[in-house]
Homo-oligomer: A and B are copies of this chain.
Amino acid sequence: MLLHDLLGIELPIVQAPMAGVQGSALAIAVSNAGALGSLPCAMLTSDTLRAELSEIRLKTSKPFNVNFFCHTPPEPNAERERAWRASLDPYYKEFAIDPATIPQGPGRAPFDQTAADLLSHFKPPVVSFHFGLPSSDLLAHIHSWGAKILSSATTVEEAIWLEAHGADIVIAQGLEAGGHRGTFVAEALTSQLGTIALVPQMVRAIRLPVIAAGGIAGARGVAAVMKLGAVGAQIGTAYLLCPEATTSAIHRAALKSDTAHHTALTNVFSGRPARGIVNRFMRERGPLNDSVPAFPLAASAVAPIRAKAEALGSGDFSPLWAGQNVTGCKEIPAAELTRELGSLSKGMRGANRSGNN
């Protein structure tokens, strides 16, 4: 099976959607270079989403992907929020922040009918989701314009669920991956598998094509996951230093420093586990903390601390998302990086699914 036949792209590579560090510019550059560029939409207003989609349609005729979250929004829990903010009080004092001025949520909204209606005007050829899938009605709407639907699975169980609920391709997200775990069934972090263990088990368990993600930092990594039976690779971290990414100067400096070699899964920034470079906030309040508010509400309490710290040039309170291999990060145009990433795998087929794992 070739990803080319499934998505109409030349290289078996998906640029991972990375909310907060990229917009349409990166997606356009990657799509024009022959891979699948992605627009992270989870944090965009309708107006911005419309503008970004217009920009993409203007600047590329190649396939592209739009990515949304589809978590179930939590019930706000005032007591939990109060306790969490109280635990952050030393930071509010340190940075002279009045906690009474910090707004509650609302944070990131899940994919809904409004977003689907907006998308229907632009007919993106690929729509991907994180944290499961939206309702079957919404999926039918997306399928109505011929789009393919992708979603991430972090366990074999989640892959089987996605196959049964309308996904067209499953992204196997190994625990090396940067950013948020796509987990939506699994609870224990011990259920999360490394890419090399996850991909062949998923390929065995489902009929849908599998794209591998997590720890893939170069052309050899792409070729390796295709040996495991994947039809392609989703790569995020490697693009973070490209000029088309909007990665902050602080985040870029961290990626280029030795500290980038130590990442961890943390929930202190958003309420859900995500992989980032270990910094002061993760060391002092995490990396995992049982008392953090539910996703995405946890983002509010730390936001003003992060803003003050960043104004002082510090990433101590910023989510510095990164995967377990930053050696692929290069300060070169995304098109050039894309061609490098695909240099060993153009036209390569995923290993035969019936073979040994």
Contact = CB atoms under 8 A, between A and B. Distances in A.
A215 B190 contact: no
Given A229-B220, A340-B356, A174 B190 contact: no
A156 B194 contact: no
A12 interface: no
A343 B219 CA distance: 24
Contacts of A221: 196, 200, 228, 357
A263 interface: yes
Nearest to A324: B197
Given A174-B196, A227-B227, A204 B327 contact: yes
Given A356-B219, A357-B217, A324 B193 contact: yes
B220 A194 contact: no
A200 B223 CA distance: 13
A323 B200 CA distance: 14
Nearest to A190: B264
A218 interface: yes
A73 B218 CA distance: 41
A215 B262 CA distance: 21
B224 A228 contact: yes
A218 B218 CA distance: 23
A225 interface: yes
Interface residues of A, number: 50
A22 to B, nearest CB: 22
B194 A217 contact: no
Contacts of A198: 324
Interface in A25-50: none
A193 B220 contact: no
Contact of A194 (B176, B201, B227): B176
Given A190-B287, A262-B191, A356 B196 contact: no
A334 to B, nearest CB: 16
Contact of A227 (B175, B201, B220, B328): B220
A74 interface: no
A313 interface: no
B176 A193 contact: yes
Contacts of A344: 227, 355-356
Contacts of A195: 194-197
Contacts of A176: 193-194, 196-197
B215 A194 contact: yes
A210 interface: no
Contact of A190 (B188, B191, B224, B278): B278
A229 B340 CA distance: 17
A261 interface: yes
Contact of A196 (B190, B224, B264, B357): B224
A21 interface: no
A351 interface: yes
A14 interface: no
A216 interface: yes
Most buried by B among A194, A278, A355: A194
A215 B227 contact: no
For the complex of A and B, the 4 pairs showing the least CB-CB separation, nearest first, are A194-B194, A197-B215, A197-B324, A218-B356
